[in-house]
Structure formats: C-alpha cells, structure tokens
Chain A
C-alpha cells in the first residue's frame, strides 16, 4: 500500500452475484462478481473524530463487562471499540489513529 492516508466512509454495501463464469483467473472472477449496491440514500459523513475515554472511566452505560469489543494494540497503545456501538451502516467504519498509525476499525 503506498503512503496515502485514506478516510473511509460507507455509501454502499457489497453483494456478489452468483459466479456463473468459467473464467479461471481469480481477479477477473471477482470483478465480474463484484456488484456493489447502494443502500444509503445519501453519502454519510465519515467518522473521523469519535470520542474516546479511559477504560477505567467507562461505566456500564458505556459498555458492560460481557459486551463484546473489538480490541487492538499498536505500539503499546490499546483501544477498544464496543461492537454494539459500531453496528449499522452509519457506524461501521471508525477512522482513527493509534500508536502513530492511521487505522480504520471496521465492522
């Protein structure tokens, strides 16, 4: 990947058509099957400034002990994204920076 930092938003979702081709080459097969469908009526604003708090300060209102999170550690810095906060087309992608790395937490 070249050194371009991307901001990612979701304006459509991907569907695959049934692969009815005899083509052997994987890339061509995928291009033919790649059939994105727009499911949102207008482009959404990408999430680029989501709020974070220290884990120690998170009450049950924010996240409970048995709720599932997407956790990541980069260069010693750790962060959790509660999955119940990132479901649905408007939340599925969180553009973020952690441990000096530009990342997208996606669901």
Chain B
C-alpha cells in the first residue's frame, strides 16, 4: 500500500510502513468480521453497505466455500499463530494461547471466525461449544459469540475482549509470518505446544 501524503510504502498484512518517511509507523487495527451478508445485516439492522459493482476478479466467496483449507485466521502478538478454516469447520471452538489465553469461535452458517480473550475479572475461562454460542466450563455461563457478552449464568453481563484476527490466504500468511505456529484443537495430534 502507498499513502498519498508521504508516498511511504506499507505492508498491508503487517499494517506497518516498510519504506519512506513513515517507515516503522503502525496503523491501528480495527476488529472486523468476515461474514455472510445475511448474518451481518441480521446482527446489524442499521448497517450501510458499499455499493460498487462486483469486480471481474475471481469470486472470493466461492473460492472460500470450495477450498476452506486455503484460508486461515491469524494473529501476531507473542509470535504469530494461525488456524485453518478447514480445522474450524470440524472444530468450531478452539481454546489456545498467543501471549495470552484466547479462544476462536467459528460459526459455519455465517462463516465468521471471532477471537476473544479468555481472561475476565482476573480469571481465565475455558470455553466449549453450546447452542447459539459458547459456554465456559468454570461457571457454566453462556456467551453470545457476536458480542462476547454473557447472556446467562453467574457471569451474565460480562463482556469478553475482542481480539483482531486477520483472515488471509494460508500461503500469504506464511510468507509474512514464516514462523507462525498452527493452532490445533486440544486433544488433536500435534497439539503439544512447541
């Protein structure tokens, strides 16, 4: 990417200027969702939507649906980590660590993958899948996977911190983060942390 004001060059995936006057500066990442239009407008009824024409470039939507293993959701905090969408389709709720205890929640209908911190009120929770969202095994509270807010149970009303996850082609992610470690569900082979 290039900014018009200084003509510095930026790495899109790293969000950082690599060359030019602003070299080293970072852009603040804003948590976003890659999700179906149906799910987005249901959860955000007052949303606006970009109204350009569709481009002639390959349809990302069909590529994603036919080849989910080509895509990952990644983050780079304490070292880079990534999880394949092929994994998430089989294991939609994965507890893991990346500098801090985190969880990925995947919804196959909307195809959204969201990452939340598992730390709340000075404790660390462990999550499991439940109807409409997920539940923590420590208190049995149920959580809304869109907002990260507990809707029921002892922690009702608490809100998990949303973490920015980057959806990317697996190949591109590994080019920019060659040492990225794959996130696998616990109990799967190779789940021992390296």
Contact = CB atoms under 8 A, between A and B. Distances in A.
A34 B12 CA distance: 12
Contact of B51 (A36, A51, A71, A106): A51
Interface string B26-61: 111011111111101100111111111111111111
Nearest to B16: A30
B18 interface: yes
A73 B40 CA distance: 11
Interface in A1-52: 1-2, 4, 6-12, 14, 16, 19, 30-31, 34, 36, 43, 46, 50-52
Contact of A67 (B30, B58, B61): B61
A75 to B, nearest CB: 11
B111 interface: yes
Nearest to A63: B37
B44 A55 contact: yes
B103 to A, nearest CB: 20
B49 A8 contact: no
B188 interface: no
A12 B176 CA distance: 16
Interface residues of A, number: 61
A85 B56 CA distance: 9
Nearest to B53: A85
B19 interface: yes
B36 A78 contact: no
B47 A71 contact: yes
A3 B53 CA distance: 33
A88 B56 contact: yes
Interface of B: 1-6, 9-12, 18-19, 25-28, 30-38, 40-41, 44-61, 64, 111, 175-176, 178
> Considering the complex of A and B, which 4 residue pairs feature the smallest CB-CB distances, nearest first?
A65-B38, A78-B44, A6-B3, A88-B57
Interface of A: 1-2, 4, 6-12, 14, 16, 19, 30-31, 34, 36, 43, 46, 50-56, 58, 62-74, 78-88, 90-94, 101, 103-106
Given A55-B44, A65-B37, 11 more contacts: A9-B3, A46-B4, A52-B48, A52-B50, A54-B47, A55-B45, A66-B61, A68-B61, A69-B36, A79-B50, A87-B60
